[in-house]
């Protein structure tokens, strides 16, 4: 693998309603690993749950809220599994109404010189976050329905496969991210989801995707059991909020070392999102990264390997911010990437 050393990419969401404006910003600030923009302010159907809900069993909008409402649960699941087993990718398409940024990004790539692009990054909401955000008619989260949880996870894997199929014609290396903020709850009193459930479900989820030759990442913008994610066999990239939770992440040096040795990549979410105020500098953020690298090196990790497998990103998605903040954050990300590559 080419040395990454500060390669920058984004998380997914941007606060624009104009897809072309979002793509202009992406291509300017993360030109080597651009991503298609999720635009939740454009349409509620581009929210991180609704965006990937089409044709998944029993999911319907109810007074503006996505719910599991099935007249015949078994029949809906039977139809779903027929399509899943058949590998019917068109059935799992993400439509333009749900992802205008995806289609605008695709057509922009079609018409441009791609020689400067190293990776194309796509994303889908992870199954735990997805199911935690959906309730049945009684108000109970479907996260606790193991049958539905398995079905939704399989459906999301097909949404990911559909994206990989769409973009593979560009001949670039692909990155597929699962966005999983809910995993910050694992191990707390707020959820019954445990470590083994996460590892088992994601190991199954990623198995089919690995056959496509892509890199698979997990983004969690809160603190979690990072060793849990590094123990998932199919995960290549761990994306964490390095601005807020660096000290917590550094508690796992042995796991990080083993993850890197088997080819893993750490994507440092070093540019703050909620804490962004326009006063941060590339030098200051790069120094924070260096502090983390030095701490891991002191615990026995290979300093060169840490740099070779280092990507950076914003700490979280930018969809809830103002356009001014989003532009500032991605510009700062670009400058921080350049500083790391030159000086670390």
pLDDT of residue 1: 60
Higher per-residue confidence, 256 vs 187: 256
- Phi, psi (rounded to 5 degrees) for 250: -70, -5
Give the orientation angle of helix 195-210 with respect to helix 146-167, to 10 degrees.
30
Question: pLDDT of 78-93, one tens digit each?
Answer: 999 999 999 999 999 9
| Range in 58-72, 140-154, 171-185 with the lowest mean pLDDT | 58-72
Question: pLDDT of 260-288, one tens digit each?
Answer: 999 999 999 999 998 899 899 999 999 99
Residues written for the chain:
344
| Mean pLDDT in residue range 10-25 | 98
% helix, strand, coil for the chain, step of 5: 50, 15, 35
Domains of the chain in start order, with CATH, are 7-343 (3.20.20.210)
pLDDT of residue 191: 87
Report d(CA 193, CA 143) in Å as an integer: 9
Say whether 215 sits in a helix, a strand or coil: strand
* Nearest C-alpha neighbor of 238 from the set 319, 338, 310: 310
């Amino acid at each position: 693998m080419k040395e990454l050393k500060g390669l920058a990419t984004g998380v997914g969401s941007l606060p624009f309603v104009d897809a072309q404006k979002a793509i202009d910003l992406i291509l300017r600030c993360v030109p080597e690993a651009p991503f298609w923009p999720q635009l939740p302010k454009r349409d509620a159907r581009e929210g991180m749950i609704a965006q990937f809900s089409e044709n998944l069993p029993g999911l319907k909008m109810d007074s503006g809220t996505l719910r599991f409402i099935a007249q015949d649960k078994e029949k809906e699941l039977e139809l779903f599994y027929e399509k899943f087993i058949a590998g019917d990718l068109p059935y799992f398409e993400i439509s333009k109404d749900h992802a205008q940024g995806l289609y605008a990004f695709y057509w922009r790539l079609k018409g441009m010189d791609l020689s400067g692009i190293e990776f194309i990054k796509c994303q889908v909401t992870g199954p735990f976050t997805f199911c935690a955000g959906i309730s049945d008619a009684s108000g109970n989260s479907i996260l606790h329905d193991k049958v539905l949880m398995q079905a939704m996870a399989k459906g999301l894997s097909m949404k990911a496969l559909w994206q990989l199929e769409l973009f593979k014609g560009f001949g670039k290396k692909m990155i597929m991210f699962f966005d999983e903020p809910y995993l910050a709850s694992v191990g707390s009193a707020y959820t019954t989801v445990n470590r083994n459930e996460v590892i088992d479900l994601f190991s199954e989820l990623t198995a089919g995707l690995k056959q496509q030759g892509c890199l698979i990442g997990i983004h969690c913008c809160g603190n979690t059991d990072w060793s849990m994610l590094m123990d998932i066999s199919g995960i290549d990239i761990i994306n964490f909020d390095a601005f807020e939770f660096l000290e917590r992440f550094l508690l796992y040096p042995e796991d990080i070392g083993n993850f890197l040795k088997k080819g893993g990549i750490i994507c440092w979410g070093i540019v703050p999102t909620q804490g962004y105020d326009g006063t941060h500098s590339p030098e200051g953020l790069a120094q924070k990264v260096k502090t983390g690298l030095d701490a891991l090196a002191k615990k026995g990790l290979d300093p060169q390997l840490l740099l070779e497998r280092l990507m950076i990103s914003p700490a979280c998605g930018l969809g809830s911010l103002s356009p001014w903040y989003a532009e500032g954050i991605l510009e700062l990300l670009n400058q921080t990437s350049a500083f790391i590559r030159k000086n670390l």
